[in-house]
Copies of this chain bind each other. A is one copy, B any other.
């Protein structure tokens, strides 16, 4: 192995260098060595991704459909992970066992964050050939040692799980929000919300309960390490779906747009739901469950957490999106597209970070930020920035997605904190399938009671079949591996992700055939690749139209008459839609561009006018009271410009 040669060489250099005098020089050399190992790890992943890109090209060129790029990334990752694991590395790290200094007192419940090691410890300094300075070194907490034989490459071919939540997931989720096909998403909103909200919770509960039952039947060593909360946590993390493979095939085969919207919308939202849900379960564990038993107040508290965190995160994301829209509307930053794009990227990432800092869920914030950016900010951007941001996030999404799937493959072999338990793995596979079934079939039945046209049975089967597990499940599982139970969950999750992505993903085309789902409908691929010029004719099984609820209509009116004119350059200007007494404010918030342009010019280029203007149900003028019911009483006391209301 070339890698081994490199490592032996490093080791040689390292040993050679260590002979040099002086601790400082040796520390220099050590820093250099660590840098090289970091680079090598990055290089391994870069080469894997390059290989994946080239193979995808070959597959696309030859029209191979039985393996998607993510499946490919996983398989390459597995191969390289196995090589790294079994090729064996010669680079051992030095370690010693330590005890606290006599007389030290410390908190017994948690290990300290940092150890201070006086070096050379308590020994007289040897004169002559070891002129070591009498120094104190800091050592930071790394984690529990599970496998004493692990060496540096094993530790290093893995990354800190934090990078998934800070670096890898945000662009993936943002991209999903930014290119959500909003027309069909809103048409199928009821079904999507039902599957994503109720379905995910139901699935988590069912999987958690079933797994708890299974665990009780297992050998005592494992059973004792799992609490019901642990299995419920497993249920929450294994419930979100990530049907990348399936959707790619849908795009290619131009499958029914409503089915596409349901699967895509559900997978986007259930990632968010599962993340918040797992957080709430963990909060319940730490805050409410003093004796590990069930407490009704604690349960209600956890539900409160769930709702509060979800809606506050949504709010943070939406507000940051709207703030970006306002910034791009009222400044002329669009004259410098580079600055504009930078602003866009920074504000979107800030939404994520603000939510994380405020103990909310960044991924949910960034999702709704993405939706708002697409809905409002996108209309204000210069065409250069539109292209730039679209292409940037497309590329980032592609790289991040393939990286995470490669990593799932590699970490299967190299991550030191795996715990293989065949019973738990088998139980995990079966219950996760049952959980998906409980999500889809009963809820489809209930939805069909009030839905015209209903969701056909073959669509239901396809929804069930699209329940691949992906990046979110893995990231949640690897986030915390402190206990043996958590490690068993990680192993099981990794295996479920790999199996579903490779096998289910590969069989998706056949499933479409087998279920006789119509393909080749409209130019679905085109409109999906360019989500902002969505001018496809309405698809076949139209579920929207006449079914639009009153709430959706009010929202549509509010959006087109208040939010759009406020946040973008869209017509009609606020001066026309706001009640008379707010004219001064309205004038301040309306740009000259909004006054002067024709009514039609913007509508044609508007990114998502498809949300409402096609819809005959929306009244062309709306009663202000419907929008500001709370303002009615105060209107008298405010001095209006025209005064006509007084």
Q: A: which residues have CB within 8 A of B?
A: 6, 13, 16-18, 20-21, 23-31, 34-36, 38-40, 42-43, 46-47, 49-50, 53-54, 56-57, 60-61, 93-101, 104, 106-122, 126, 130, 132, 135-145, 152, 162, 165-166, 282, 285-287, 290, 327, 331-333, 335-336, 338-339, 341-343, 345-347, 349-350, 353-354, 356-359, 362, 384, 387-388, 391-392, 394-395, 398-399, 479-480, 482-483
Contact = CB atoms under 8 A, between A and B. Distances in A.
B350 A110 contact: no
Given A343-B50, A392-B395, A398-B342, A143 B132 contact: no
Secondary structure at the A interface, as helix, strand, loop or mixed, is helix
- Among A116, A353, A387, A479, chain B packs the most CB atoms within 10 A around the CB of A353
Contacts of A61: 332, 335
A106 to B, nearest CB: 5
A395 B342 contact: yes
B96 A101 contact: yes
A114 B98 contact: no
Contacts of A101: 96-99
Contact of A38 (B50, B162, B358): B162
B353 A46 contact: yes
B46 A350 contact: yes
A357 B43 contact: yes
A349 B43 CA distance: 8
A285 B20 CA distance: 9
- Among A34, A47, A49, A395, chain B packs the most CB atoms within 10 A around the CB of A395
Contact of A6 (B35, B99, B118, B357): B357
B115 A95 contact: yes
Given A47-B350, A142-B138, A286-B20, A356 B94 contact: no
B26 A109 contact: yes
A391 B138 CA distance: 43
Given A143-B137, A145-B137, A395 B112 contact: no
A116 B96 contact: yes
9 contacts: A17-B286, A20-B287, A27-B110, A36-B359, A40-B353, A42-B353, A43-B353, A57-B339, A138-B145
Which are the 6 A-B pairs with shortest beta-carbon distances? Answer: A139-B139, A39-B356, A43-B353, A95-B114, A98-B98, A93-B113
A100 B261 CA distance: 61
Contacts of A347: 50
Nearest to A98: B98
Contacts of A165: 35
Contact of A115 (B47, B98, B135): B98
- Among A53, A345, A359, chain B packs the most CB atoms within 10 A around the CB of A53
Contact of A286 (B25, B93, B119): B25
Contacts of A349: 42, 46
Given A25-B286, A35-B165, A46-B350, A333 B95 contact: no
B118 A24 contact: no
A392 to B, nearest CB: 6
Contact of A357 (B21, B39, B104, B143): B39
A24 B486 CA distance: 10
Nearest to A27: B482
B130 A109 contact: yes
A356 B35 contact: yes
Contact of A480 (B31, B99, B107, B392): B31
Contacts of A40: 353, 357
A395 to B, nearest CB: 6
A482 B352 CA distance: 35
Contact of A57 (B43, B143, B333, B356): B333
B28 A282 contact: yes
Given A20-B286, A99-B101, A100-B121, 20 more contacts: A17-B287, A20-B290, A27-B111, A28-B285, A30-B110, A39-B356, A46-B349, A54-B327, A54-B333, A56-B339, A57-B339, A94-B107, A95-B113, A96-B112, A97-B118, A109-B132, A137-B141, A138-B143, A139-B140, A384-B391
A252 B144 CA distance: 57
B346 A53 contact: yes
B130 A345 contact: no
Contacts of A17: 286-287
Contact of A97 (B50, B100, B143): B100
